[in-house]
Amino acid sequence: PPSPLQPPGLPLAPRRSFSNNKIQVELDESSGVAMMKFKSPPVNSLSLEFLTEFSISLEKLENDRACRGVIITSALPKIFSSGLDITEMCGKSMEHYAEFWRAVQEMWLRLYGSNMVTVAAVNGSSPAGGCLIALSCDYRIMAENPKFSIGLNEAQLGIVAPFWFKDTFVNVVGHRIAERSLQLGSLHPAPEAHRLGLVDELVPEEKLTEKAAAVMAQWLALPDHARQLTKTMMRKAVLDRLVAHREEDIKNFITFISKESIQKSLRMYMEMLKKKK
Amino acid sequence: PPSPLQPPGLPLAPRRSFSNNKIQVELDESSGVAMMKFKSPPVNSLSLEFLTEFSISLEKLENDRACRGVIITSALPKIFSSGLDITEMCGKSMEHYAEFWRAVQEMWLRLYGSNMVTVAAVNGSSPAGGCLIALSCDYRIMAENPKFSIGLNEAQLGIVAPFWFKDTFVNVVGHRIAERSLQLGSLHPAPEAHRLGLVDELVPEEKLTEKAAAVMAQWLALPDHARQLTKTMMRKAVLDRLVAHREEDIKNFITFISKESIQKSLRMYMEMLKKKK
Amino acid sequence: PPSPLQPPGLPLAPRRSFSNNKIQVELDESSGVAMMKFKSPPVNSLSLEFLTEFSISLEKLENDRACRGVIITSALPKIFSSGLDITEMCGKSMEHYAEFWRAVQEMWLRLYGSNMVTVAAVNGSSPAGGCLIALSCDYRIMAENPKFSIGLNEAQLGIVAPFWFKDTFVNVVGHRIAERSLQLGSLHPAPEAHRLGLVDELVPEEKLTEKAAAVMAQWLALPDHARQLTKTMMRKAVLDRLVAHREEDIKNFITFISKESIQKSLRMYMEMLKKKK
């Protein structure tokens, strides 16, 4: 079937794709746009392996002169990404927690600081770390289905979003909305997320890829160099803050996550998820 | 009459109340929610005595493990609080100004930094320091009566809101709305205050306590520990700024308030208030 | 014809005017309001000469005790100001670039930090530096004509708005709207500019001066001293940031603007403008 980036009837544009266990990437060289699809059933949870593959995929595209922008979406129905994989944070060694958290940081540093235009096509629910991925893009389009929700709901699980999740959120929705939403651990249905400015646009699900391609074309109409310098100017303060406190942030995570009370909360949450199925 | 926190027909929940000259507090131990009512006629102005009692009441609740949240409202009709008591700032000694200002700071540090869930049920007008109290809570519900207004109107009196009033305001409504409102010393009628985001919700006056209890229940559904850490993360920068400059801020206040021109403005303002009666 | 600041039938208020090549200023001593009109055909572009005259005019009014506020508008049809004069940034010496950039900084420091009430009556399009002038005022009223647009569109030209343009923009519209608008180099038609908060109010073009005078009267109803201290409190952090990095900012500008790739972009842009005529 013709890609939405490829008008029907025209000769096929040169196209390169690479894929790993969790993520599928297809780069359209004529437009300079890569389509990145999360395909880690059942819910695209951000395991250590997923995060590593995500960072590697971003790095590959970043270093590919043929690539100017990336659209991030899910290959699975109803879910964009369920966020950090709780099994990575439960009953593991300190070394594992450190490695895992460094991979979360690495992914965010690459995505939030990317020189490419990044568009999130949020075609399903997107809690916690899934929401962070969307928030880190330049533009967020969401399927207008009110059954899909998005938000940094960490507090619901008894855990706390780290300061750089918070900074990214505040940069998108402002201090007040972030304060309330984070404290309540809110998951906002798509229409509410749009009203709050958490996503930029809602479209019917079947139009999502098409719309993402159109938005991408609009952003790519600008000269790369000026756009990239502008993006850096807007995001540098928040990126630098994590870079400056990266080891401290890892230590904080390990201390917090290895508390017996937190481990207990996470185990209960996983039990609840299992029963839901 | 049954409390709105107490469904009719059920046995009465254990309930503790304490009260001082200016403020009445009733703690419902079953829900963990305290109702704090300002009752200092005629207008709940924030005298040194009021502020001291307010801080002590907050401290008592903060240290009471049975208390998880507090609803702040007024026991008087039409007024939430008229703000700082001008008589405390007029014709008094430098020592008095210092003591008074320290009490204002103390109240704000306790309220803005409270670990409890704080809901303001603004059942009347709420200028200046009264508005600060509302802004320092986690959530603000206001009676939808357009005759009630709220705002940091210090500039109207020829005085200037200190930087931490401003920081608190900016964290709620953003920089632009704060800049304009503070320069004009605006008192916003309830509907406008809602439009600007200064209050979160409007309800008919008779529904105010009921709504506050419902909102409180929603916030208390979250695990305390995660919610508190999240709140601290959002508010710490602004709290720390006053803590770091507390003595300097007192000195600034004394210098400013003891200027003859400012004293004259305040005396004129008090004359005007007297004539109004 | 009677001025909108001067009700018909009353004796004429004392009035002083001064004028230079590019800007005409008329001060109404009874109201304390100056009307400043840009009159540098064809498009009020901000040349070194214009910027110098602008700064001098602001300084004169700032030091004139009879003047409390200034309304800034254009004497030309359809254009408020086209922004920085590209001919000043193209094919000139390093010394010239330095002198020019210092004049841009000087203008902004004076306008954004002015003790006077500043109202922009935006009666035409206002890209780039023209938009900066409007953003630096206390209040922005725009003619509701959707053919008029406003925005920091530097990225469209392949250049980057400096950090203090960005800071000024963020203080008005918030981080998210600024990030998107700056990266896209958007020029927002008046209705969209109003929706985004980039301008405070839209009025029919023929009502613009009248409305500006009414807004000015509202702002001047406040005591100057308290209003000025409040304004300083809101804007000082952003002003101080440029003051602290002024020479560095000039160096950055020179390095950037003298790059051959940038010079080429600017020459192409100027060619395009010439062909448009």
Cα angle, residue C107 at apex, residues C105 and C108 outer, rounded to 5°: 65
Task: Encode pLDDT of B19-62 as tens digits.
Answer: 888 999 999 999 999 999 999 999 999 999 999 999 999 999 99
**Angstrom distance (rounded) from CA A143 to CA B51:** 50
b vs e for B142-176, b when ≥16 Cβ sit within 10 Å of the residue's Cβ?
bbbbeebbbbbbbbbbbbbbbbbbbbbbbbbbbbb
Which residues in chain A touch residue C161, judged by CB atoms under 8 angstroms apart?
Answer: 230
What pTM, to 2 d.p., does this model score?
0.94
Residue B97 and residue B258 in contact, taking contact as beta carbons nearer than 8 Å? yes
Q: What CA–CA distance (Å, rounded) separates C230 from C217?
A: 18
Distance from CA of A40 to the nearest CA of C (A): 31
Residues 6+ apart with CB under 8 A from C44: C22, C38, C50, C74, C76, C79, C80, C81, C82, C130
The secondary structure element, H or E, covering residue A37 is strand A33-38
From the CA of C87, how many Å to the nearest CA of chain B?
34
Query: What is the percent of chain B with per-residue pLDDT over 90, rounded to a whole number?
Result: 88
**Residue type for A195, please?**
R
* pLDDT computed for residue C19 by the predictor: 81
The closest alpha carbon to A47, from A111, A93, A90, belongs to: A90
Amino acid identity of B227?
A: R
Mutate to test the interface with C, among B160, B177, B187 (most CBs of C within 10 A): B160
CB contact under 8 A, A183 and B223: no
In a domain, B6, yes or no: no
How far is the alpha carbon of C35 from chain A, nearest alpha carbon, in Å?
35
Total domains present in chain B: 1
Backbone angles phi, psi at A65, to 5 degrees: -65, -20
* Mean pLDDT across B207-221: 98
Q: Which helix (H) or strand (E) holds A119?
A: strand A117-122
Amino acid at C169: F
Catalytic annotation present for C91:
no
CATH of the domain at B114: 3.90.226.10
The residue among A138, A107, A103 whose CA lies nearest residue A121 is: A138
Instruction: Flag residues of chain A having pLDDT under 70.
Output: 1-13, 277
Question: Residue B5 pLDDT > 80, yes or no?
Answer: no
Catalytic residue among B5, B51, B84, B152: B84
Average pLDDT of B61-89?
97
pLDDT for the residue numbered B277: 62
Amino acid at A147: K
| Secondary structure percentages of chain A, helix, strand, coil, to 5 | 50, 20, 30
Q: Which residues of B touch A166 (CB under 8 A)?
A: 233-234
Tokens of C33: 């309001």
pLDDT of amino acid A273:
82
Q: What is the structure's pLDDT at C13? A: 60
Catalytic residue numbers of A read 84, 129, 153-154
How far is it, in rounded angstroms, from Cα C222 to Cα B156? 6
C220-250 pLDDT, tens digit each: 999 999 999 999 999 999 999 999 999 999 9
A224-266: pLDDT as tens digits: 999 999 999 999 999 999 999 999 999 999 999 999 999 998 9
Residues B237 and B247: their CA atoms lie apart, in Å, by 18
Closest CA to C95 of C260, C228, C249, C250: C250
DSSP state of C8: T
The amino acid sitting at C122 is V
Mean pLDDT for the stretch of residues C144-170: 96
Q: Mutate which of B224, B234, B238 to disrupt the A interface (most A C-beta within 10 Å)?
A: B234
Helix (H/G/I), strand (E/B), else coil: A263: helix
pLDDT at A3: 46
| Contact assignment for C184 to A231 by CB distance below 8 Å | no
Given C163, C174, C183, which is nearest A231 (Cβ)?
C183
B154: annotated active-site residue: yes
SS3 assignment, position B144 = coil
pLDDT given at position A14: 72
CA–CA separation, C109 and C51 (whole Å): 12
Interface test with chain C among B165, B168, B179, by most C beta carbons within 10 Å = B179
The encoded tokens of residue B176 equal 């632009």
Rounded mean pLDDT, B167-195 = 98
CB contact under 8 A, C234 and B184: no
Residue C210 placed within a domain:
yes
Name the region of C160 (left: φ>0; alpha: ψ -120 to 50; beta: rest). beta
**Which residues does chain A have within 8 Å of residue C175's beta carbon, measured at their own beta carbons?**
170-172, 174, 234
Q: How many CB atoms lie within 10 A of CB A103?
A: 20
How many residue pairs from chains A and C have C-beta atoms closer than 8 A? Answer: 57
pLDDT at C2: 40
pLDDT at A6: 46
Predicted pLDDT of residue B196: 98
Q: Which residues pair with B201 in a beta bridge?
A: B141
Q: Which residues of B touch A179 (CB under 8 A)?
A: 171, 231, 234-235
- Chain centroid to CA C83: 8
Tell me, what's the pLDDT at B3? 46
Contact C183 A233 (CB under 8 A): no
Tokens of A150: 């998005």
Tell me, yes or no, whether A2 lies in a domain: no
Which residues make Cβ contacts (< 8 Å) with residue B26, sequence separation at least 6?
A: B3, B15, B16, B17, B34, B35
pLDDT number for residue A1 = 39
Strand, coil or helix: what is B96?
helix
The verdict on residue A9 lying in a domain is no
**pLDDT band at C1; cut points 50, 70, 90:** very low
Q: Which residues of B touch A155 (CB under 8 A)?
A: 222-223, 226-227, 230
> Which tokens sit at A105?
């940081």
Instruction: Note the pLDDT tens digit of each residue in B234-243.
Output: 999 999 999 9
For C36-81, the pLDDT digits (tens) are 999 999 999 999 999 999 999 999 999 999 999 999 999 999 999 9
The H or E element spanning position B26 is strand B23-28
CB contact under 8 A, B223 and A179: no
Considering Cα of C250, then C256, then C258, then C264, what sign does the dihedral take?
negative
Residues of chain A positioned with their CB less than 8 A from the CB of C158: 223, 225-226
Confidence of residue C18 (pLDDT cuts 50, 70, 90): confident
DSSP A32: T
Spatial separation of the C-alpha atoms in residues C44 and C126, rounded to whole Å: 10
Q: A100 is in which domain, residue-wise?
A: 15-276
Query: Does A158 contact B234 at a Cβ distance shorter than 8 Å?
Result: no
Q: Note whether residue B33 is domain-resident.
A: yes
Structure tokens at C275: 């062909």
B84-121: per-residue pLDDT in tens?
999 999 999 999 999 999 999 999 999 999 999 999 99
The DSSP letter of residue B13 is: P
* pLDDT exceeds 70 at position C12: no
Find where tokens 């004009």 sit: B184
Residue B13: its pLDDT value, please? 60
Q: How far is C174 from chain B (nearest CA, A)?
A: 7
The better pLDDT of the pair C88, C276 is held by C88
What span, in angstroms and rounded, lies between the C-alpha atoms of B111 and B70? Answer: 10
> Among residues C154, C157, C208, C266, which one is catalytic?
C154
